[in-house]
Amino acid sequence: MLLIISLILFLKPLEIFGRSHQLANNKKSDTSWGSTHEDLVTDLPGQPSVNFTHYAGHVTVNENNGRALFYWFYECSIAPESKPLVLWLNGGPGCSSVGYGATQEIGPFLVDSDGFGLKLNPYSWNKEANLLFLESPIGVGFSYSNTSGDYHIIGDDFTANDTYTFLHKWLLKFPSYKKRPFYIAGESYAGKYVPELAEVIVDKNKDPSLFIDLRGILLGNPETCDAEDWKGLVDYAWSHAVISDETHKTISDSCDFHSDDTWSNQTCTQAVDEVLKQYKEIDIYSLYTSVCIRDTASSEQQTTQVLFDTKSKMMPRIMGGYDPCLDDYTSSYYNRPDVQKALHVSDGQHLKNWSICNMTVFGNWSDTKESVLPIYHKLIDAGLKIWVYSGDTDGRVPVLSTRYSLGALGLPITRKWRPWYHQKQVGGWVEEYKGLTFATFRGAGHAVPTFKPSESLAFFTSFLNGQSLPFQRI
């Protein structure tokens, strides 16, 4: 994911040590970045001392419209020059990969509970790879466009093409990664982003001048096929006692999720509304953890927000997540003037309004593929490695949704369902198919690395190394 190499050749030592004690222990890298020193992050408020460098800033993806995407890139903490590059994407659509992936899940810094500092993540994925986090599409986090019309045409294809442009322009900033093994990872609605971007890369790689060495994709609790995702959401809610037998039977009898007109059936719509009503009482992303109750919040603020459009087949967006108040802490941090200045997104005076999810982006989403399963087949045929994982206490894109979707692929099984182990305990279960590996994480919610950080890092390492998950207690 984020690659970071030192700018010692371009900055005088006294300037570096004078600007920030945080870099005092940073190791030197073998590659110089030319003019990219302007994106070097120093004086990040609350940052612990680290032995790697990191960069943040905007990359313009459309000069005419003034469209720019914000990234944050962390060098691998061990031998970055020999490690792959991994791009991480969060979904929503409309949610920040910086707010979630980088500082709640797999990045080296986690936002502290007071919203004023950072703490080290001992299980950061930048122990194994260079990590690149991207806020995409425009309207998410610090990413923006100066052309208002752009915000009305955002959708799957728009996002994939802008991200592809970003990658090539980012590689001009960090040219030593041009030929580095590259992987794309993400969760939730990135279950569509990731394979869609991978498909663009595979297609464009036919031109040698545009070649990106894409090796594989990694998907967590991914939206995959709308019909199977809906069926899995309902069946999971019933099997985990969130809804009644009667509600489940009504949906089974009246809802055709494969239909282009699912919600014209009022009986179906009312029964699905009952599912969402019950999930508003708990955290759909983590069934067995507490919801965030703010002491000073009004009753309206304490009600879980659900955004669901019956004119669309898109899955509902329900605000929530574990800590359970971590979203609040993260928003407090990224709206600080000194933080925005350190990340090169404002001058510290004229602030950007950062939010962890932009619900307007979700509501205005103009196109979405109902299924990316055909892309899976295409990527498997292209020889890419595909691993899919699922936290089994997530109700939003539950393990049943993923199993139904992957089952629809009809892939031959090469290694049957079995437990996999981490530190002599069952981490979950795994099944290997021809061209794809599927694994569960026992007791994890939607954002698996938040719940199972040690297991997730071990899983990620196995993925990169092309090793099967441990099947013995060792």
Active site residue 350: no
Q: Is residue 54 annotated as part of the catalytic site, yes or no?
A: no
Give me the amino acid identity at 173. Answer: K
Out of 54, 248, 422, 446, pick the active-site residue: 446
Q: Encoding tokens for residue 239?
A: 């099997």
**Residue 322 · residue 297 · CB < 8 Å:** no
Query: Which entry of 6, 54, 394, 462 is annotated as an active-site residue?
Result: 394
Give the C-alpha distances (Å, rounded to integers) separating 15 from 10, 30, 320.
10, 20, 43
* Active-site annotation holder among 143, 188, 331, 462: 188
Residue 240 among the catalytic residues: no
Q: Give me the active site residues, please.
A: 188, 394, 446
